[in-house]
Structure 1
Amino acid sequence: MMKLDVLKYLGLAICLATSGSIYAQTPTTDDQEKGEPLLKDVADGKLTDQNYAHMELQFNTSGHAIFEDGKYSNGNFSINGVRMQISGQLTDGLGYMFRQSFTKRYDVNSTDNVSMALEKAYVTWNVNDHLQLAIGKQYMEIGGYEYWQTANRIRYYSDFNSTVRCAQTGVGAYIKMAPDQTLAVQLLNNSCASETEDVYTYGFPDMLQKTKTPVMALLGYRGFFNDKTFALHYGMAYGQLASNRQQLYLTAGHVYKRGPVLAYLDLMYAREGIDTKGIISGYSQNYVSDEPDFDFTASMRTAQHVEYLSTIANFDYRLTPHFNTYIKGIYEIGRVYRDNGIYNRGRYNNTWSMQACVEYFPIKDRDLRFFLHGVYKKVDLTNLGKKVGGKSSDIMRVSVGLEYILPVF
């Protein structure tokens, strides 16, 4: 495993690369925002060409039946996602993107000073055919198809992507090195570098000091190969969470699309000085010490020095213009790489899930679909996970729903 001093040098290298570049936000075309199969925003070698004003509403609703540990738990209807998106071009080469979610918390994030429901708010400037600049709230340049796909398309996220704070405020640059090769550099806020309960549900460790520079540097690569049937999207992110506590992401997405077939394989790795995802920390809710005089404070529930690794594989097949099917598998592990508090070094969980879905498109050329989706998820804790109070579990959910992207203008 990487040592922290190595991570420091790696982060410094990213920061130096960032300081020598002009920054920009992820250029996203309308097709990518609507969830077209390939990562078309920059991976196809085209910087955003938004010579229009466009507004759309994204809507997703479904009914669920949920079973936990083999027993029926509950059933209900829910609104999974309602979003409004506005994009366009102010003048020649100057564009904008705004997206608001109506099914997220409206608390103001102290780092960004804006509601957490505001997913995107940025302005872009196409300097020339090879460089786009932007500033505002934007997505971190993390690799992986599941991460970049429109949220309404993902019926059930991996634990990794469901706990990533993907939208942050800052600056960056997209540099087109070749027609199908793009390099991205970003310098963004890191809202996880905070002492709030919103980030650390189980408390911020008392012995740590808050960082004075809550930012994250990111470096990304996107490219198309083999007549644009194969896409790569790699990303690396580094930042400080607190004094002497760093955060590192190494992520990779691989997408294949040809004819009726869409397949992707995502690899996601996180190494964190403090458990921002809260997965391992969450196992300690039922912790009971063997030592009667042990003072177990609230902040000790938050684990430190953790690692997470996720593998996500998906296969779509378009049976007819009206029917699509897919299967998806996810395998994830979490471990502690250095003893701290009640957490000993080692692996804490093996989590895997399988998903299957059938989608029906009743109207041609309309982004309206009905779906039947099923997921089975198993959380298998190791002895270390059980020692801190965690329990193994499984969940099965069957959903029937509707998704619609309605163009307003």
Structure 2
Amino acid sequence: MKKYFMYLMISFLPILAFSQVEKQTNEGVFVFPDSLKSLIPVNKQSLLRDVDVIFNSRMAYNSNFIDGNHTFSDFNINQLRFEMKGKIHDKVYFRFRNRYTREPVPGDLDNISRSVDLAFIRIDLSPKTKFSFGKLCADWGGYEFDFNPIDILTYNDVIEYADNFLVGAGISHDIGDGKHSLSFQVLNSRTKTYETQYGASAPPNINPSEYPLAFVSNWRGSFFDGKFETTYSYSFFNEAKGAHMNYFALGNKFKTKNFVLYYDFQYSDEGLDRLGIVSSIISNNYPYAAQDALYIENWVRAEYLASPKINLLLTVMNSNHSWKDNPDPNGSSKLSTSYGLIPTVQYMPFKDMNIKFYVAYTARKYDYTGYAETAFGAKDYTTGLLGFGFIAPLLVL
């Protein structure tokens, strides 16, 4: 109903163009002339019925802590992403999303601003097969990345430091009765060139690839009448000559009437440290990006709808960081582990509008091995973030 109201407003109010001056009647009121025309052609106005305009937003008052000590508090627009999506033809769909909380710097590899998450068209080759081209969301498995970003208060390390939106092409196909689907993408392996990405930290024995591409495959499944769902993926990144990345993500979802449980396992074996976490740990003694870095993660999120207006959430996560190519014969490959705990309470006052007010505390701990502390001077520390705010995908059209 709201869409049709907006459609009428657009058609008949401020953007009207008049071919002659308004006429005043004897009753002292104005009437519109018969020659009134809309600036939007009538044959184009029907497109608005199939287009959504959304402001994905999360805003909060945040208080920050380091090692248990308060550092500062402020109001913050954590997320604001403008999105347009919809059909422009029976078989052609478009989607565009821009992030206003990231600096709009164009990638020198893909020539598009990093603030643009999505900019692609999708062509439905058949009811079950779809082809997409443009700046895409890498179809990685795992539910942490599947969520709308406004719903994730803090990401685990792999998603936080990865290039998640890349230019390329993809195809997906529903299998059987639609309970399963397969997808395959060919993407740029990053948004920047090798020289920009690594700069002076590029190892002298590694050369950039002429084909910096990523190959992403994904399987989504649904079982037991939708009570158990999966999204599993394998990705191969050609980061440089002789330096590749193999990435596995296994997402699992179990749901009942009022309870949902998610579990993700992620494994990223990087011939050249793409995330940069290991490289940052060893940077005091080793000037180059680490080779053969390994990241293994677990992520769990539980949601319980205590009442129609109260939703309780708990997120638990950890990430392990290792340097398999450590040249120290007496050294350890394991360097650190990070932990996260995010208890959250959401209040949803409106039945017909998806606005959630929340209070949450994000506790993070960064625990370095004894070897990392001795060899590289790393020190354990904790962070905390207390937030009061709201989450809303505001559908304005």
TM superposition score category, shorter chain reference? 0.7 to 0.9
Structure-2 residue corresponding to 1:401: 389
Unmatched 5+ residue regions in structure 1?
Answer: 1-49, 290-295
Structure 1 distance, partners of 2:331, 2:203, is: 16
Structure-2 residue corresponding to 1:182: 181
Q: Residues 316, 105 of structure 1: CA spacing in aligned structure 2 closer, same or farther, 3 A cutoff?
A: same
Structure 1 distance, partners of 2:250, 2:225, is: 20
Structure-2 residue corresponding to 1:384: 371
Structure-1 residue corresponding to 2:10: none
2:50 aligns with one of 46, 49, 52: 52
- Structure number, greater radius of gyration: 2
SS in 1 for 2:262: strand
Q: Which amino acid aligns with 2:381?
A: S
Contact 1:193 1:214 in 2 (8 A): no
Shift of the alpha carbon at 1:343? Answer: 11
SS in 2 for 1:249: strand
Larger relative contact order (CA 8 Å, sep ≥ 6): 1
Within 5 Å, which residues of 2 pair with 1:145-160?
145-160=143-158
Cα deviation digits, residues 115-149 of structure 1 (max 9, x gap): 00110011111111221111111111111111110
Q: Which amino acid aligns with 2:303?
A: D
Cα deviation digits, residues 1-36 of structure 1 (max 9, x gap): xxxxxxxxxxxxxxxxxxxxxxxxxxxxxxxxxxxx
Within 5 Å, which residues of 2 pair with 1:241-260?
241-260=239-258
Using the size of structure 1 for normalisation, the TM-score is 0.81
SS in 2 for 1:115: coil
| In the alignment, structure 1 residue 131 sits paired with structure 2 residue 129 | yes
Q: Which amino acid aligns with 1:139?
A: C
Contact 1:248 1:272 in 2 (8 A): yes
Structure 1 distance, partners of 2:132, 2:281, is: 40
Shift of the alpha carbon at 1:360? Answer: 0.7
| In the alignment, structure 1 residue 217 sits paired with structure 2 residue 205 | no
Using the size of structure 2 for normalisation, the TM-score is 0.84
Shift of the alpha carbon at 1:255? Answer: 0.8
| In the alignment, structure 1 residue 355 sits paired with structure 2 residue 342 | yes
Structure 1 distance, partners of 2:371, 2:188, is: 34
State the identity as a percent: 21
Q: Residues 384, 304 of structure 1: CA spacing in aligned structure 2 closer, same or farther, 3 A cutoff?
A: farther
Q: Residues 192, 341 of structure 1: CA spacing in aligned structure 2 closer, same or farther, 3 A cutoff?
A: farther
1:84 aligns with one of 82, 104, 110: 82
| In the alignment, structure 1 residue 324 sits paired with structure 2 residue 311 | yes
Within 5 Å, which residues of 2 pair with 1:1-400?
52-179=50-177, 180-191=179-190, 194-197=193-196, 199-200=197-198, 203-285=201-283, 287=284, 300-340=287-327, 344=331, 346-386=333-373, 387-400=375-388
Structure 1 distance, partners of 2:137, 2:320, is: 25
Cα deviation digits, residues 60-118 of structure 1 (max 9, x gap): 11111122112222222211011111111111111111111111121101121100011
Structure 1 distance, partners of 2:328, 2:218, is: 35
Unmatched 5+ residue regions in structure 2?
Answer: 1-47
Structure 1 distance, partners of 2:153, 2:251, is: 19
Q: Which amino acid aligns with 1:309?
A: I
Q: Which amino acid aligns with 1:52?
A: D
SS in 1 for 2:194: coil
Contact 1:324 1:358 in 2 (8 A): yes
SS in 2 for 1:384: helix
Cα deviation digits, residues 193-240 of structure 1 (max 9, x gap): 73345x348722233211110101111100111101211000000021
Q: Residues 175, 390 of structure 1: CA spacing in aligned structure 2 closer, same or farther, 3 A cutoff?
A: same
Cα RMSD (Å): 2.0
Contact 1:303 1:343 in 2 (8 A): no
Structure 2 distance, partners of 1:280, 1:134, is: 34
Structure 2 distance, partners of 1:313, 1:85, is: 28
Structure 2 distance, partners of 1:275, 1:344, is: 18
Shift of the alpha carbon at 1:278? Answer: 1.2
Q: Which amino acid aligns with 1:322?
A: K
Shift of the alpha carbon at 1:284? Answer: 3.3
Aligned residues: 348
